[in-house]
Structure 1
Amino acid sequence: MLQPQWLRTFEALVELGNFTRAAERLDLTQAAVSQHIKHLEARLGPLLLRQSRGLELTPAGHALLDYQREMQAADQRLRQRLAGDDASQGELSLITPGSIGLAIYPHLLALQHEAPGLAIHHRFAPTAEVIDAVLNNRAELGIATQRPEDPRLTVSLFAKEALELVVPAGVEVAGWNDLERLGFIDHPDGHDMATRLLSRRFPGNPGVGRLSRHGFTNQIGLILAPVAQGLGFSVLPRFAREAYPHPEAIRVVEGAPGVVDTLWLLHRAEWPLSARARRAVERLKSRLVSTPSA
């Protein structure tokens, strides 16, 4: 029989493509990760090809990955059946992008206070990883910024979220020159978001790439820290701005036209949501006020 821990190690290694990162995620040593893979390969044959560009699965590796995902799906269905239809008990797993994640996390904590029997597991991830996690049963619920067309997913509107131009408090922005003077605080989606919003707000501008970049962070909760200190401006989603703990230090530059994104709720289509998932979705939707369309 294959040990579940070996299978979890193999799956993490395939997902991350790196022994070091797999060991960090699983809280193991690299030697332990290697040993788990050796145990599997001793039983099943070669599973991975170590290439200069990364790891590549052999046919046996693809078969084992499919097996692991089928086992996860069966395990999830079993846990849902054993938990019954009790909305106050059991595990709820969800995965979301950063901005909406910041908005919903306090409400998830409040829900767990009301129902201590709930165990809520929330991960932050980009949309591509959200879709993959729901498809492969690593999360019951996902929220994505793009609508997937995969027939294995049930997709519904969750919320709408505007992009915002945020500057230090007291700063006025009358034109593109003011943004050039301030400088741009970038983030992983910053160039795309700024291009989408500023191309509409300031038509004919020379482009975001021409702006002086005064900072960068990949932590969504920290993007506005340098803005609040007067070090530049940024463009980010509304929910991320609303979660910033020092609103008095920043200012949203209002204007038209705007850009409003749709957030999509995802879950596997083959089985209905658990009662606890339905309760969480109803609670979260009631707490979030959608932005009007642009």
Structure 2
Amino acid sequence: MLNPLWLRSFSVLVELGSFTRCAEQLDLTQAAVSQHIQKLEERLGPLLIRRPRQIELTPAGRVLLDYCKEVSAADLRLQNRLSALDELLGEVGLICPGSIGLMVFPLLLDLQQGNPGLVIRQRFAPDWEVLEAVLDNRFELGLTTIKPDDPRLSTHRFAEEPLELIVPAAEQVDSYDDLLRIGFIDHPDGRAMANRLLSRYYPDTPGISKLPCRGFINQIGLILEPVARGLGCTVLPRYARQAFSRPEAIKVIEGPVVVMDTLWLLHRSEWPLTARAERIIQQLRSHLQRI
């Protein structure tokens, strides 16, 4: 059996791409990290190609990295099972889109602050990464805006997330022509969200395809900053807008219909949720029903 310390050094080294940073994170010397890699290579053959400022994995290195992920997932499952019946003790991982993530993050902090034995890991990610993370057992819970059909996943309708057309507070929007003048602030899901909303708000127009792009932001917490500064409009879920710290600088343009996205709760179907995960789901549902 491979030494778990060697595997840990290998995983962190690949993640950080630097022997120096790996040693610092693990509180080891560089010599110790190098020795761990050497021991692995004596057993498995060459794992790394060392280049200036870059580390490249050999085919054997890629296989070992997959093995490290499997070991880590198995260790997490063991910890979860050992404390599965205690709803106030242990770790829960939640991976979700940024908009709903911004909304529930303060609630998760409240839960953890009130229950010191509870450890909550939250990650913001697009739908495809959420699916992969839950399937790989890296996160117990996931939220997505698409309903997967993978039989390994248990899927439940979790919440409705209204989309909103958001413009600078000083702008007057009476027609699609006003959006052409204002321009669009894009983001990773921006065009898809805008297509869904604009096709319902302005059905006889070209939609997002003709709006001039005034900028692109890939950080959910910053997308509304250029809108607040008058640089363009955007389309976001309501939860992201409600989490913005300067609501007086933006405004929502109401349309003829409400455009909804459905959020789906995912977890592996092969085993039941831990008691602490069930508790968190209950708290989140209750919170969302009140807003």
Match of 1:145 in 2: 145
Q: Quickly say closer, same or farther: Cα 1:145–1:3, change in 2 above 3 A.
A: farther
Counterparts of 2:207 and 2:171, CA distance in 1: 21
Match of 2:218 in 1: 218
- The Cα of 1:251 is off from its aligned counterpart by 1.0
Counterparts of 1:48 and 1:257, CA distance in 2: 56
- Structure 1's consecutive aligned runs of 4 or more residues displaced over 4 angstroms after TM superposition are 8-14, 26-29, 34-39, 46-50, 54-57, 60-63
Deviations 1:96-126 (A, max 9, x none): 1111100110110111122121111111111
Deviations 1:55-93 (A, max 9, x none): 6773x4565355334423331232123325111111121
What code does the residue aligned with 2:231 have? L
Q: Quickly say closer, same or farther: Cα 1:116–1:131, change in 2 above 3 A.
A: same
Match of 1:106 in 2: 106
Counterparts of 2:96 and 2:9, CA distance in 1: 23
Q: Quickly say closer, same or farther: Cα 1:212–1:193, change in 2 above 3 A.
A: same
Q: How does 1:30-49 map to 2 (within 5 A)?
A: 35=34, 39-47=39-47
TM-score (norm: length of structure 1): 0.83
Match of 2:208 in 1: 208
TM-score (norm: length of structure 2): 0.83
Unaligned 5+ segments in structure 1 are none
Q: How does 1:92-103 map to 2 (within 5 A)?
A: 92-103=92-103
Q: Quickly say closer, same or farther: Cα 1:146–1:9, change in 2 above 3 A.
A: farther
Aligned mate of 1:19, from 1, 4, 17: 17
Q: SS at the partner of 1:203?
A: coil
Q: Quickly say closer, same or farther: Cα 1:123–1:173, change in 2 above 3 A.
A: same
Q: SS at the partner of 2:156?
A: strand
- Does residue 83 of structure 1 match 2:83? yes
What code does the residue aligned with 1:97 have? P
Q: How does 1:1-294 map to 2 (within 5 A)?
A: 1-4=1-4, 6-8=6-8, 19=17, 27=25, 35=34, 39-47=39-47, 58=59, 60=60, 63-289=63-289
Unaligned 5+ segments in structure 2 are none
RMSD, matched Cα: 3.2
Structure 2 contact 95–122 (Cα < 8 Å) conserved: yes
Taking only the aligned residue pairs, the percentage that are identical comes to 56
Q: Quickly say closer, same or farther: Cα 1:13–1:271, change in 2 above 3 A.
A: farther
Number of aligned residue pairs: give it.
283
Structure 1 contact 69–137 (Cα < 8 Å) conserved: no
- The Cα of 1:49 is off from its aligned counterpart by 8.5
Counterparts of 1:127 and 1:286, CA distance in 2: 24
Q: SS at the partner of 2:167?
A: strand
